[in-house]
Structure formats: C-alpha cells, structure tokens
C-alpha cells in the first residue's frame, strides 16, 4: 500500500520534474517562461503524432514494431516540437524584445490550442467512437522495466520498476544541477540571469545563452508532456487531460528555490500531495477538490518562509523577466 502510494507519487511527479528542470534552466537565463504549460502540451502531442505515424506505418502490428524506433521517434518528435516553441519564445523576447509574461501566456494558449487541435484531428482520422487516441503499443515499449525489478520485492518495486523516462528525468536534473553549480557554462548562465549587463561586459554572449537555455529548457519540459501520455496515461491521449500540470511545474520551480536537486524531491512530494486525496478514505468530492489544492498551499508556504529569511541565494535570478538591450541609454 505505502509502496504503491510512493510509486504513484513518483509517476505523477515525473512530468513536473521535467517541467520544472526545464523551467529552472530557462529562468536561470533570466527568462520567466510562462509558456511552459503550452510547451509541455506541444511536447506531448508531438510525441503522440510521431508514434501515431509510426504505429500506422507498421500496420498497427506490435510484432513489426522495432522497440528502439518506437521509443526514439516520439522522443525526437517531442523534443523538436517543444524546442520550436522555445525558439518562438526566444525570438519574440530576445530578438523582438516582447514582454516575457505576455509572450509566455500567449504560448501557453497556443500550445494547448495546438495540442487539442492536433489531438482532435487524429481522433477524427481514426474515426474512433471515444474522444481519445490509444497508443498502447508504443506505451508498452516506454514502460519496459529494468531487469530484476520484479524479483527484489519492495526494493525492486520502489527503485527499479519505473519507466526509463523517470530515470532520465532524475539524471537530467542531477546533470543540470552539476552544470549550473560546478561548470563554467553554469557560471556564465547564472550570470546572464542575474545581471545580463555584467555578463555582457564580461564578454559572455547574452543572446546566445538566452536562446540556448530557453530551447534546451523547453525541450526538457516537452519530455514531461510525453512522459505523461506514454507512461502515466498508458499511451492514451485525450484533449485537456494534461490539465494544469504545467502551472504546477512552474510553482515547483519556486518551491525548489531554483535548484534542480530540490526539484527532484519537490516533484515527488507534489506527486504525493496531488494523489493524497485518492488514498484518504471517506472524502467527499468537494473535499477531494480541497486536497488538490495542497501543492499550491505548500508552494505559498515555501514562498513566505523564503521571503522571510531573505537569504539572497534563495531569491529568483535578479534579471528574471527583464529584457536586455546593450546600447540602452
């Protein structure tokens, strides 16, 4: 029971971890990308389209499908789709100096709309009765467990039974943490987000760093959308099912104090909080809704505590949300 609860929390947390790791990288460059929910949507639908095409190409026959291709095609599609979103965001905010918040919100609207449009189109193509597309074959490749997962009892279930995207999310978060704190690239990136003028004067290409960080961040966030469809929803896409997970990922960034290592713990905690209502007996539907509020309440509490402690290292990057022009006077 408790093992099951934890595994469920991890499963729910992984999209958030992808989303928030991506957003942390983006925010460290000084971009407050509120387009993350839309980008995760686009990541999901791009993966869905990719695997849909591949499944059809193989005549919907699982024996014809190559396991590697079945995984890599949706993965690459998701990365391409969400990177394009990141590019749009960077082009608008860096090159055209558009307001970051407005651009981000517009991208969220665009991404969700695009996802629903493509989703509905695919449903139309299949002529399905249900308002969803099932890619269960692709999903089964995504869900391959590690060897020994079933033999080691609770240990296997807790640590080895997850899909590979879960491990990928944790690895990416750890690598991101190392790069941010221990490498020159990380130092440069942080300086771009804290004080672009300083970075510029130090000879760092602010435009390049902002573009690249935003695109990489978007690509990672997009994987979160893919993981949701392929692992959590077992390959079933239905419009709007992804819900407000993108916003929760942004809240998680604040919760994690812009640290990817904290985001790992935070995402699983958020997953547990999201899921708590299903494990507590005797809740009415209205109290269940109250329970779904928990992740946000926790975020607000963390915000209050960190702003009271006023430790400078725990504050958002100083240049967050600000455009940078060099020849400004």
* Residue with Cβ nearer other proteins (137 or 190): 190
Sign of CA dihedral 27, 306, 168, 119: negative
Cβ-contact 132, 186 below 8 angstroms = no
Distant-in-sequence, close-in-space partners of 156: CB < 8 Å, separation ≥ 6? 148, 149, 150
Contact positions with other proteins (CB under 8 A) in 204-263: 204
Residues in the chain, total:
329
Kindly state whether residue 305 participates in binding other proteins, applying the rule CB under 8 A. no
Kindly state whether residue 312 participates in binding other proteins, applying the rule CB under 8 A. yes
The owner of tokens 């919100």 is 105
String marking each residue 178-197 x if it binds other proteins according to CB under 8 A: ----xxx--xx-xx--xx-x
- Figure out which of the listed residues 6, 84, 146, 200 binds other proteins, where binding follows CB under 8 A: 200
Kindly state whether residue 318 participates in binding other proteins, applying the rule CB under 8 A. yes
* Residue with Cβ nearer other proteins (197 or 293): 197
Q: What would the two tokens of residue 190 be?
A: 């942080």
Kindly state whether residue 329 participates in binding other proteins, applying the rule CB under 8 A. yes
Query: CA-to-CA distance for 89 and 267, rounded, in angstroms?
Result: 25
* Residue with Cβ nearer other proteins (97 or 278): 97
* Residue with Cβ nearer other proteins (69 or 204): 204
* Residue with Cβ nearer other proteins (190 or 210): 190
- DSSP SS3 for 238: strand
Q: In the chain, what is the straight-line distance between the N-terminal and C-terminal CA atoms, in Å? A: 63
Count residues near other proteins (CB under 8 A).
25
List alpha helices for 95-152, DSSP H.
Answer: 100-126, 136-142
Q: Which residues bind other proteins (CB under 8 A)?
A: 182-184, 187-188, 190-191, 194-195, 197-204, 310, 312-313, 315, 318, 326-327, 329
């Amino acid at each position: 029971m408790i093992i099951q609860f934890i595994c469920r929390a991890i499963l729910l947390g992984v999209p958030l971890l992808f989303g928030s790791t991506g957003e942390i990288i983006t925010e460290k460059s000084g971009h407050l990308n509120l387009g993350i929910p839309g980008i995760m949507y686009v990541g999901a639908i791009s993966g869905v389209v990719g695997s849909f095409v591949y499944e059809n190409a193989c005549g919907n026959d699982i024996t014809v499908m190559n396991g590697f291709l079945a995984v890599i095609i949706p993965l690459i599609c998701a990365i391409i789709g969400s990177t394009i979103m990141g590019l749009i965001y960077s082009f608008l905010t860096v090159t055209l100096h558009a307001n970051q918040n407005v651009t981000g919100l517009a991208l969220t609207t665009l991404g969700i709309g695009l996802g629903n449009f493509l989703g509905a189109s695919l449903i139309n193509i299949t002529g399905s009765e249900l308002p969803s597309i099932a890619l269960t074959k692709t999903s089964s490749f995504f869900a391959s467990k590690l060897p020994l997962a079933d033999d080691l009892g609770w240990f296997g279930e807790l640590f080895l039974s997850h899909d590979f995207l879960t491990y990928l999310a944790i690895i990416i978060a750890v690598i991101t943490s190392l790069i941010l704190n221990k490498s020159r690239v990380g130092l440069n990136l942080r300086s771009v987000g804290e004080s672009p003028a300083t970075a510029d004067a130090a000879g760092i290409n602010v435009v390049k760093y902002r573009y690249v960080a935003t695109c990489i961040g978007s690509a990672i966030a997009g994987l979160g959308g893919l993981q949701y469809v392929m692992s959590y929803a077992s390959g079933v896409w239905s419009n709007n099912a992804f819900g407000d997970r993108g916003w929760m990922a942004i809240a998680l960034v604040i919760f994690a104090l812009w640290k990817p290592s904290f985001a790992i713990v935070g995402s699983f905690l958020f997953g547990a909080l999201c899921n708590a209502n299903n494990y507590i007996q005797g809740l009415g539907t209205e109290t269940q809704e109250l329970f779904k509020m928990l992740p946000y309440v926790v975020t607000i509490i963390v915000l209050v505590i960190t702003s009271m402690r006023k430790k400078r290292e725990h504050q958002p990057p100083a240049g967050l949300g600000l455009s940078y022009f060099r020849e400004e006077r």
